[in-house]
Structure 1
Amino acid sequence: MANGDGVPEKVAWVLVRDDSVLVTRSHGRDRFYLPGGHREPGESDGETLVREIDEELRAAIDPGSMVHFGTFEIGEGHPEHGPFRMICYTADHRGELIPSREIAEKAWFRYADRYRVSVIDGLVFDALYEAGRLA
């Protein structure tokens, strides 16, 4: 779903453990993506993240722990799917991370795996690497 400027947006979860970041792959896709998704009408970023992570990984995000990590964009005419904006948050969670039926697999990627994610997710990988959070 797009915000007021018409640019499609995704709210994404950035979960880093042991110098790796959590990614998921949907059925029928080759690339991996940060977990998350598009807002439903009237949803806040927090509500979107809570719903999407429950739907994708059966885990409960703690909305009070959400911290904005960054907003990443690719521009108009980008060959992958521009324009597109991804609003990323870190957050604590409860529960084991169990892929739902819409998720083919989850994985923990290091910076060397950047080529396996979408272009916009690659921007997040770059930011994590530059911040010393991704090996």
Structure 2
Amino acid sequence: MKAITITAALTLLVLGGAGCSATSAPSTSAASIDPGRVSPTDLPTPPTVQEAQGAVRDLTLGECKTQAGKQTVSGELTSSQAERADFLVTISWTTSTGDVMGRGFKVIQNLKPGKTKKFVITATVAAGATQCVPGVEFGTIEK
């Protein structure tokens, strides 16, 4: 009886695995990649915010253009926090599907509660951006 059970189990294992074969991965040749939908490889990397929390409500931005090339956005941040905090303001220029075509950021350190800091963010934007996506985190940013 044990021999039949082991044989049956092995047969099921072999037959069950027969249908499982590696599928071929999609082609990633240069001819199949649309460069207009790929994020640039040289996007700046913002610093890490320790114990980060969101604060986009504290942000006011000026006009943000999406044309390819150098773009500059001015803004101001008014801290709604109860204590001094460091802030990271980011702007990502993205396509309609979320691919990042440009990124800029500004670090504002030790901003007192209720105080406002004006800033300018400059970035090089690749072709294909359709929108500006702002972000604000606060916490501690080490230099």
TM band (smaller chain): under 0.3
Relative to its length, the structure with more helix (as a share) is 1
Relative to its length, the structure with more strand (as a share) is 2
| TM-score for the superposition, normalised by structure 2 | 0.23
| TM-score for the superposition, normalised by structure 1 | 0.23
Q: Which has the larger radius of gyration?
A: 2
